[in-house]
Structure 1
Amino acid sequence: MNDDTKPFLLKLIAENKDNEACKYLWDQYYDVLFKFAVAYLKSKELAEEVVSDVLYQVWSTKHHLDNIQHLRVYLFTAVRNRCYTQLSKKKREQSLFVNTGELHEDSHIDFNIDPEKQMITGELSKFIKEIVDDLPPRCRQIYKMIREEGLRNKDVAVELGISINTIDVQLAIALKKITKAMQLYFNR
């Protein structure tokens, strides 16, 4: 498949054979664009949505097709851009529900969380953040570098110019204070 499809498509449109032109556009590009989108999104449903949206958008502005020099490149670029948009949207949605730790590709998030659970999770996250903010400055810095930035103890020690033993002690102090505060929080 190459851009030789564009002249034929434009001819069908010029002859007011819209149904044939639409079917031709779909037949020529849907499968290859779908596979391309699945490779980005790792989801057949999202890929179907993205490709259908792009083809619909192109079709709804079909009288401007003559302005597109390379239809195939245009379609692949549009699908790729929509995939990026979907991925960043998905990442934003996930970050709304997961405030601590990192998500892995095999993580599954239940987007049907009930509002009460969501409120409690948000309240708990805010509470933990306040506890961390109340830690002594060096202890807070070490905790954030390890737990929030995901650095290894050894890397933090090198970056701060202190021993790994000091890192371990400071992290233990932080975790002890957080644990104690959490116990008080849940016992209230």
Structure 2
Amino acid sequence: MPHYTDDENILVSLSEGDEKAFEELFFIYQPRVVNFLTALTHDREASRDLAQDLFLNLWNDHEKLKNIAHLSSYLFQMARFSAYNYLDRLSVWEKYASEHARNLHVEESEEEALFVKELQEMINQAIEQMTPQRRKVYRMSREEGLSNEEIASRLGISKRTVENHLTAALSVLRKILYLSIVLFLTQIR
């Protein structure tokens, strides 16, 4: 891996689509970003997901980085906004869940059972609509419990590709879950 002398060199190379620059950026900043996000969210797993999304978005929009003056400041500002958005969504969910919990009966209602069944069908349908490779990576990770390294080795792809597939798959499933829960909670009011 080439060694870039400073953030400015990484930024210039990254904005030109240099994958090695992105790998070095990820190697240098990912642990720091995860720690920063964990300090804000108090949730290590969610922080890893948020950091993964942040770096994926950074790579997808790398052409726009030409106008960034300070890479470190930019990354941590993005991380801060990401954490605040996550906490906002979480507080909305907790508010609705708390209101709903007050009205719950000991036994699950037929409506809730139907919701769970429909949600599972939506998730299964979303998984089936994934590309074959993404579906395989997702199932190996979530159903077989394999690590990203094990998946990469078995499929003959890079660990980064595995991470990209998982990030994209989980993003779709999170949206389905979030929207389904909000719709369900608004229907039972």
Query: Structure 2-normalised TM-score?
Result: 0.48
Higher relative CO (Cα under 8 Å, sequence separation at least 6) belongs to 2
* Larger Cα-atom Rg: 1
Q: More helix by proportion, 1 or 2? A: 2
Query: Structure 1-normalised TM-score?
Result: 0.48
